[in-house]
Amino acid sequence: MSIDLSGLASYGVFLLTLAAIYGVVSLALNVQWGMTGLFNIGIAGFYAIGAYCAAIVTTPPSPSHLGGLGLPFGVGLLVAMAVSGLVAFLVGLLTLKLREDYLAIATIGISEIIRLVLKNEDWIGNGVRGIAGIARPLSANPLVYLAVVLLVLAATYLAVERARKSPWGRVLRALRENELGAQAAGKNIYRFRMEAFVLGSMIMGLGGALYAHFIGFVSPEAFEPVFATFLVWVMLIAGGSGNNKGAVLGAFVIWLVWSGTELLTNQLPADYVTQGSALRVLLIGVLLQVILLRRPEGLLPEERPHVGASPASSAEAEDEA
């Protein structure tokens, strides 16, 4: 019954799948920024690593790029996460002891270098021509893939939420709020930062892999690197950084707004259609400034522990943790 999808419904499935993939990446950024205060603007780099890993691991052997190992979908996801995590570890070794600005600049540098390498080293991913023919798991039906992506999103949400409530998550928030205090309490802040950075980047790689299987094609320019990074930031801030529900909500809301602006710019006279994408970026840029000025805590603000809460509720909070 779902085989004969009308155009609108199939567009809806397309939108939802991408929104859910962005939801995964937004959760990843929440681990790094929302929970730990690590400023990563190289999201697109880790996303690209994930996408290429998935492509190389799962496509059939090919002379035009690395591998074509022909392994299953799940293996691709794991490799994507492992390689993203490894790269994050190396970046972290160099930058996590430095000031936050330096981490920001270093991450943008890494993502730029990843893009340059993918573009210029043909043997890895066939250069600018990219890798095509990345199959979806189980079936080519977009509804099945939507279910797979939603399942991964739910699993990611549960894992990240569990991490947030754990003692580990509390240390992250402690060092975000007061680095010296956390250090004085005997926490090795460098180790905790590294764990959060690597975990977040692994999830970004996972998002990239999901994207590669959805679109079926990866190339260095397929992600609009800077813009993908920016969009994820807007999603997390709009949704409520520090709040995992907010991260997912933000991804869906901003993705719908972003797609909605496309409908808007399609109404433009033919002469201006080529300018449509610039207009959309402008709108999203302005939206971010308005959110930062008017509602910096986002749609679903971070739940903060209440000082002086009633004994009952604090006992409850302890149980949850």
Q: Where along the sequence are the contacts to another protein (CB under 8 A)?
A: 37, 39, 41, 94-95, 98-102, 104-106, 108-109, 112-113, 116, 119-120, 226-227, 230, 233-234, 237, 274-275, 278-279, 281-282, 284-286, 288-289, 292-293, 296
In this structure, the dihedral spanned by the alpha carbons of residues 74, 76, 78 and 80, taken in order and rounded to 10 degrees, is -150
Q: CB nearer to another protein: give 282 or 321.
A: 282
Q: CB nearer to another protein: give 263 or 293.
A: 293
CB of 143 to another protein, least distance (A): 34
Q: CB nearer to another protein: give 14 or 227.
A: 227
| CA 131 to the chain's CA centroid | 21
CB of 40 to another protein, least distance (A): 11
Q: CB nearer to another protein: give 140 or 290.
A: 290
Buried b (16+ CB within 10 A) or exposed e, 131-166: beebebeeeeebbebbebbeebbeebbeebbebbee
CB of 187 to another protein, least distance (A): 21
Tokens representing 293 are 């000025």
Q: CB nearer to another protein: give 100 or 316.
A: 100
CB of 258 to another protein, least distance (A): 13
CB of 297 to another protein, least distance (A): 11
Q: CB nearer to another protein: give 159 or 226.
A: 226
CB of 124 to another protein, least distance (A): 14
Q: CB nearer to another protein: give 5 or 288.
A: 288
Q: CB nearer to another protein: give 11 or 272.
A: 272
CB of 13 to another protein, least distance (A): 29
CB of 208 to another protein, least distance (A): 21
If DSSP states are collapsed to H, E and C, what string results for the chain?
Answer: CCCCCCHHHHHHHHHHHHHHHHHHHHHHHHHHHHHCCCCCCCHHHHHHHHHHHHHHHHCCCCCCCCCCCCCCHHHHHHHHHHHHHHHHHHHHHHHCCCCHHHHHHHHHHHHHHHHHHHHHCHHHHCHHHCEECCCCCCCCCHHHHHHHHHHHHHHHHHHHHHHHHCHHHHHHHHHHHCHHHHHHCCCCHHHHHHHHHHHHHHHHHHHHHHHHHHHCEECCCCCCHHHHHHHHHHHHHHHCCCCHHHHHHHHHHHHHHHHHHHHHHHCCCHHHHHHHHHHHHHHHHHHHHHHHHHCCCCCCCCCCCCCCCCHHHHHHHHHHC
